[in-house]
Structure 1
Amino acid sequence: MAISKHPLGRYAIIDREMRSQDYVKTKDLKRIIERDLSINVSLRMINDDIIAMKDDNVLNYNAPIEYCNSRKAYYYSDQNYTIRAFGLREEDISVLMFYAKTISQYKDYHIFKDFTNAIDKVLDAVNIRKGISETNDNRVIVLTDNNQKFTGNEWIPVIVEAIDSCFAIEISYQKFGAAKPKRTKLHPYLLKEDRHRWYLIGMNDKGIVTYGLDRIIAIEKLPEKFVSCTLDFEEYFRYSFGITVLNDDPIEVKLSFTPKQGNYLKTLSLHPTQKILFDNAEEFQISVRVKPSWEFYEKILGYGDSVKILSPPSIVNEFTQKILSISNRYK
């Protein structure tokens, strides 16, 4: 890579050395820059960088760099000065370093590429690239859920653009098990992720509808514009589990868990509406106010024999039938 593409890196290293040492010689700056950036630089280039940091009107650093004749070295006359972008604190930089390490899991998603490029620029500008060493680039320090790339994520950019600009779209959508896709026009309102799958929520002639991006065959952006949606989606999904929102009114469901399972539910609630009713050596009892969709039952079934639905009777009966149906599959 050409040297001219590393000015921010050179400025950042000069700034770092000026702040960390009382006096810095040009030859030492040359050695450190070549080591940290893996490039070749001349003493003249470093002197030009120092002049630019002091006087360049475009950079506007106005760095207080002075030269000591007796020591033949440069120094900051103001030890509190730094060129670090945005006035980032050390803890801010640590957060950026953590982000740079973890965001790489999304590198295959086209919509996130600009974010990764932007964070790289910030890392360079504030001189923390060196903190993410080459030897540790492949070392796993944070392991998240498997964010494998599902079919349909390629539609995210065009959907985001349509939502942002309030343009209607027409999609070709094929449900699982359907013989052929159907076309529908809608006003796109929201993208929502659920268990690593993305969904589009919008409005068509049937009302609020939800489409899984993995079942979209094609999207066409239409010239028709619509008024921006004022629906409160946090409220819309308040009583739901996952992506399904039923037209029913929410109901209170009481559940009894084993004390061991209760420890987990005290640190991570089953649902935002969770209320603790009992917490003793025999049971951990809670209530949630929900619209019981298939995702709700799937979630409860996942707790196995550590949970029992107490009420209402209609939910107990529905859950019992599902358990019997599961049992019959093993006969």
Structure 2
Amino acid sequence: MPAPINQALRFRVINACLTDKKKPYPTIEDFKSALKKNDIRISQRAIEGDLELMRYDKRLGFFAPIQYSKKHRGYYYTDPDYSIEKLPLTKDELQAFELLVDALQRFRGAEVLDQVQGMFDKLDKVVMQQLKTKSKQSYPIVDFEKMPYVKGIEHFDSLYQAIVKQHPLSIEYKKFSDDKPTTHVFHPYLLKEYKFRWYVLGYSERRRGKLTLALDRIEKISIVKGEYKSNKGADVDKYFNHTLGITLASDRVQDIKLWFSPSQGNYIKTQHLHATQEIISDGPSGMIVKLRLIPNYELTQLLLSFGPEVKVLEPASLSKEVKEKLKKSLQLY
């Protein structure tokens, strides 16, 4: 049975002290100081208990050769080459933890993950400490795209709990274009992330239908009495199967045919625009792909971002919409 995460971190901090050649024979106070730097505060008795577990616990399998030196008034490994880092947690495992911790940073601020976040903060510090001793690089070699601030993440927990416990909510929601907020009695179904912004899909009694709200435009949330209106019809997790982004347009799923220039086509082949992407033709004159999507705002914006590298072939309505927006853009110049 593996040790709990917090205890496993303590073992590795203690091990780092015992293998530190610059400061041999660490004392209990040295252990406590090193643990404190990693936001771990425990008593002398708990540290002594950890030392015993490292020595004798068969489930851990460390069998660490730890002894106390009366002469130096500190602890040491009788085998100078011993380290628990050579045992259960490999360099690959440490690097896997490093990637996982980085990936979790996007959830900072969500109360539902506060306890987990604290655990990963501690894990991050210990992992980085260990990696520094094993890697020749002086900087992180994987750099995730980061958002320094995500407005609305403070509502994540309330919405999450309402979905789990099936509570209807009163949500004060203010669009960017409105002067005052609108109140919705809202039955939330699904939290969805798109381009570092969070959205919630649910049923709005005001609209008498399904609605997607952006968390960064929610001003206030409170629980209201009443029966929770469960979702009926298609599975919630399939709502966005044929949608790019978060806008649920009322149109039907259509075949979207696009021409891409040869240079842009190379990128589209390596990173698909959508899971339904299918290559119709590919040659010196360019590449044609087909997507099965419901045309919506996000799709139009994506196509406009490609500029002269893309042309909408079908449907005619989408081609006309993109053409009109390009004309308006030119008029600005």
Query: In which range does the TM-score fall when normalised by the shorter chain?
Result: 0.7 to 0.9
The corresponding residue for 1:203 is: 203
SS at match of 1:214: helix
Q: CA deviation at 1:33?
A: 9.6
Query: What are the superposed Cα offsets for residues 62-102 of structure 1, whole Å, 9 maximum, x if unpaired?
Result: 7545689xxx96469xx999898xx6554232111233355
Answer yes or no: is 1:30 the counterpart of 2:26: yes
The corresponding residue for 1:3 is: none
2 CA distance for matches of 1:141 and 1:30?
32
What is the correspondence of 1:98-247 to structure 2 with a 5 Å cutoff?
98-101=99-102, 103-104=104-105, 107=108, 112-122=113-123, 128=127, 130-131=129-130, 139=139, 141-205=141-205, 206-224=208-226, 226=228, 229=231, 231-247=234-250
Q: CA deviation at 1:169?
A: 0.7
Answer yes or no: is 1:277 the counterpart of 2:280: yes
For the 8 Å contact 1:152–1:215, the answer to whether it is kept is yes
Q: TM-score w.r.t. structure 1 length?
A: 0.74
The corresponding residue for 2:96 is: 95
Q: Tell me, which stretches of 5 or more residues in structure 1 are unaligned?
A: 1-5
SS at match of 1:30: coil
Q: CA deviation at 1:219?
A: 0.7
For the 8 Å contact 1:194–1:243, the answer to whether it is kept is yes
1 CA distance for matches of 2:147 and 2:240?
23
2 CA distance for matches of 1:48 and 1:15?
14
Q: Say if 1:203 and 1:263 are closer, same or farther in 2 by CA, change over 3 A.
A: same
Query: What are the superposed Cα offsets for residues 161-220 of structure 1, whole Å, 9 maximum, x if unpaired?
Result: 111211111111222322322212121111112222211111133121111122212110
Q: Say if 1:317 and 1:37 are closer, same or farther in 2 by CA, change over 3 A.
A: same
What is the correspondence of 1:37-116 to structure 2 with a 5 Å cutoff?
38=34, 49-54=50-55, 61=60, 64-65=63-64, 74=78, 89-101=90-102, 103-104=104-105, 107=108, 112-116=113-117
The corresponding residue for 1:319 is: 322
Please tell me the residue identity of whatever aligns with 1:203. Y
Q: Say if 1:32 and 1:262 are closer, same or farther in 2 by CA, change over 3 A.
A: farther
2 CA distance for matches of 1:55 and 1:228?
54
For the 8 Å contact 1:33–1:39, the answer to whether it is kept is no
Q: CA deviation at 1:280?
A: 1.2
Q: Which shows bigger deviation, 89-98 or 155-164? A: 89-98
Query: What are the superposed Cα offsets for residues 108-136 of structure 1, whole Å, 9 maximum, x if unpaired?
Result: 55555433312144568xx63522559x9
2 CA distance for matches of 1:55 and 1:321?
75
The corresponding residue for 2:253 is: 250
Q: CA deviation at 1:324?
A: 2.2
The corresponding residue for 2:71 is: none
2 CA distance for matches of 1:81 and 1:317?
65
Q: Say if 1:35 and 1:122 are closer, same or farther in 2 by CA, change over 3 A.
A: closer
2 CA distance for matches of 1:48 and 1:146?
40
Please tell me the residue identity of whatever aligns with 1:216. I
SS at match of 2:250: coil
Please tell me the residue identity of whatever aligns with 1:226. Y
Alignment counterpart, residue 266 of structure 2, candidates 263, 266, 271: 263
Q: TM-score w.r.t. structure 2 length?
A: 0.73
SS at match of 1:317: helix
The CA RMSD over aligned residues, in Å, is 4.3
For the 8 Å contact 1:274–1:286, the answer to whether it is kept is yes
Q: Tell me, which stretches of 5 or more residues in structure 2 are unaligned?
A: 1-5, 37-43, 68-75
Q: Say if 1:29 and 1:223 are closer, same or farther in 2 by CA, change over 3 A.
A: farther
State the number of aligned residues.
Answer: 305
